[in-house]
Amino acid sequence: MTVQERYEALKSKVTKRKNEFDTFINMLEKGSSWLTSPASTKYHLNKAGGLLEHSVGVTETLLKFRETLAPAISEESCVIVGLLHDVGKIGMPGKPRYLKNDNQWEIEKRNMTYKINPDEVYMNLATRSLYLIAKYISLSDSEAQAILYHDGQYVEGNKEVAHHEMPITLLVHFADMWTATVYEEGRKIVESTDYYDKKD
Ligand SMILES: [Fe+2]
Ligand SMILES: [Fe+2]
């Protein structure tokens, strides 16, 4: 399945808040860089469409975790949180965060295919995600927490939520890490057998 087909399948899982979700998605698709934005300037998926590919991947991983660990959480919650957790990376509608880099040295030496729009009003990305989504979609407290703190304890400021995470916050954080590290960067899942080998 293409990323686009996987994306469409995920969108169809939102039913209770379909109207507000569709209005937001429509605005994103037609009036922002949502479908073309990279996921970063130089790290994972720094290519056109990278953000969408990452968001679709994280949502699929989150749905797998949900099925095994937390079926009481709705699929709709997982799609809204998973698909939109990084929507702040679009910048603002009409003012994309990522611009094509024109500095050849940075492209060749640092793999920096994109640069940050110098006109952006700086905001923590997870905060901007929540800011954008909440203008359109009514969120539960848990969904809002999950979006805002999806980076978990990798972000210094997120210490304030330590030990107070709702289950969906824990799941989206791990789905984000797993997708980026294992699926996108291709880190191998290998078990070290040195210990047993020495014993044998
Ligand atoms: Fe993120
Ligand atoms: Fe992410």
Q: How far is CA 103 from CA 37, 43, 95, in A?
A: 19, 17, 20
Ligand located closest to 147 CA: 1
Q: Which of the two residues, 85 and 193, has the higher pLDDT score?
A: 85
Nearest CA-CA partner of 140 in 76, 88, 89: 76
Taking the centre of ligand 2 as the mean of its atom positions, its distance from the CA of residue 170, in whole angstroms, is 13
Mean pLDDT of all residues in 1-13: 98
pLDDT above 90 for 86: yes
Q: Mean pLDDT for the chain?
A: 95
Q: In sequence order, what DSSP letters do the residues of 116-179 get, joined into one string?
A: E-TT-----HHHHHHHHHHHHS---HHHHHHHHTTTGGGSGGGGGGTT---HHHHHHHHHHHHI
Phi first, then psi, for residue 87 (nearest 5°) are -65, -20
The reported pLDDT for the residue numbered 200 is: 53
Model confidence pLDDT, tens digit, residues 55-74: 999 999 999 999 999 999 99
The Å distance, Cα 16 to ligand 2 centre, comes to 25
Q: Confidence class of residue 191 from pLDDT cuts 50, 70 and 90?
A: confident
| This prediction's pTM | 0.94
Give the confidence band of 119 by pLDDT, cuts at 50, 70, 90. very high
What is the pLDDT confidence band of residue 198, given thresholds at 50, 70 and 90? low
- Of the candidates 27, 85, 92, the one whose C-alpha atom is nearest the C-alpha of residue 56 is 85
- Least distant ligand from the CA of 175: 2
Torsion of CA 189, 54, 40, 73, to 10 degrees: -100
Evaluate whether 123 touches 88 at the Cβ level (below 8 Å).
Answer: yes
Any idea what DSSP says for residue 31? H
State residue 52's pLDDT score: 98
Say yes or no to pLDDT of 137 above 70: yes
Q: What's the domain count of the chain?
A: 1
Q: CATH no. for residue 182?
A: 1.10.3210
Q: What pLDDT score was predicted for residue 189?
A: 87
**Long-range contact set of residues 182-187: C-beta below 8 Å, sequence gap at least 24:** 183/57, 183/61, 184/44, 184/45, 184/54, 184/57, 185/44
Measured between alpha carbons, how far is 155 from 85 in angstroms, rounded to an integer?
15
CA of 81 to the centre of ligand 1 (A): 11
Write down the pLDDT at residue 190.
84
Query: How far is the C-alpha of 142 from the C-alpha of 31, rounded, in Å?
Result: 28
User: Environment class of residue 124 by beta-carbon count within 10 Å: exposed (0-12), middle (13-18) or buried (19+)?
Assistant: middle
> Ligand 2 centre from 50 Cα, in Å?
11
* Residues spanned by the domain of 50: 3-199
Overall residue count recorded for the chain in this entry: 200
